[in-house]
Structure 1
Amino acid sequence: MRGVPPGAPGFPAASAPRAHPLRELDTVLTTCRACPRLVAWREETARVRRRAFADQDYWARPVPGFGPPDAALVIVGLAPAAHGGNRTGRMFTGDPSGDALYAALHSLGLASRPTATHRGDGLELSGVRITAPVHCAPPDNRPTTTERDTCRPWLARELALLRPTLRAIVVLGAFGWQALLPVLAGDGWLLPRPRPAFGHGAEAWAAAPDGGHRIPLLGCYHPSRRNMSTRTLTPAMLRQVLARGARLAGLPSGG
């Protein structure tokens, strides 16, 4: 499948497995146009901008993962927000979900700043990488199953490149949990049977296919504006799960 154009459905499956190192994966990923509905939405959102951002140029491309290539803890979300990551070009940056997530990471000593406003704002993560199963902003924050599956090779390759240092995964929301399990299974990780169900505070372990270390998968409600405003998820609840993930990953933190 060499030479597959970025707009073809098979582009992620053809391009992701060949990408190395992680920075190359991030670069190739941003050229993807494999899902017509997502491409149309991300670009339309950039044309019809929210009034607060009317003077800004939107990223309007797939948003790569954010964090060091030797991260021990991976955080898996859902997809970029239309006026957050789709605007700024960085995961959980410029939206209320990011405000909650980075404040919690900063309180644990895992982020250099408590806020994320734009690329180049000086924010750095320590031992943590943030990614998502879908890299383009979807209408109503709801990717289709076809879009999720088309995007899957990017996440699979990202986790494969992180495997030497990966020690724990925190998943924000049921969509990310359900998307992650097939990725791990497809890469040979041994998962519990029956497949673990998502829940806030859920914890399951996956065994490496080569007989190496096991990694914990931790569930956490997504820090969406709705979840935070209804207190379905509180800052303390978010911090508790992230602190647990950091400890299991062997990261020094304030948790």
Structure 2
Amino acid sequence: MRVGAACLVLGAALAAPPPAAAAWTERPGEGLAIVSFTLKSADRRFDGAGASRLADGSRKREVSIYAQYGLDETRTLILQPVWTRFETADVSTEGPSTLSLGLRQRLLAEGPDVVSVQPLIRLPLASGERGSQLGQGEIEGEIRLLWGHGFAFGFDNPFDERTEVAGFTVVEWGPRVPEGGRGAHIENDITLGFRVDDGDLMLVQLFNTWPLGAPHRRKHQLQPSTVMDLGDGVSLQTGAVYTYAGAGVPAELGAILGLWLRF
């Protein structure tokens, strides 16, 4: 999952981003944990030319615990273990799959804009063919540049009432390189989040993977979701995930459920 956290405040009106797509950093001594469950299945696959074709069915379940903690005003520590179950007609395997460790360093904060850099390492918790089936068989390192922009505006709706909108957008870009260099690619993610009249947080996220060399696997996912505030620092996220284009990857469709806990 890629993913995203309870809202922070930018000034008095701007919504802050979810953690999985955040350019902003946490306040010192504060943090966020997201326990998420993702269920995805596919009976089609994008071939090397990007055409969708029938394929053997597969099903994947993931449980992820994403946590971030503010070390100081400009640095946020990131931790994310993932458990995966992968099934086809012939194969069924499950277990811990990856552990991600990262640090978000804020470089610039000017008004509603923020720029950060985020180095991260992803460690496989399973090896060989089983590791590949669960999602990753090699150590991977990445470094991302993140830009975030907060916004707020209002308009008069047809009922002669004022509607206020607060939100943010985040753009992420950076290379991810497996151990040995084979399969290196660019991660390019875009998030749009907005809240209307202090209601639920609406998220639209695009996750893009662009290959830098062989194997030429390309992936483009859409993930819309809603985050409902339950009070006392607890929020509930529900949404869908859809791989709408790609090359050499399954055309997955699924659902996500996440519990956000601020501490």
TM-score normalised by L of structure 2: 0.30
Structure that is richer in strand per residue: 2
**Which structure has the bigger radius of gyration?**
2
Structure that is richer in helix per residue: 1
TM-score normalised by L of structure 1: 0.30
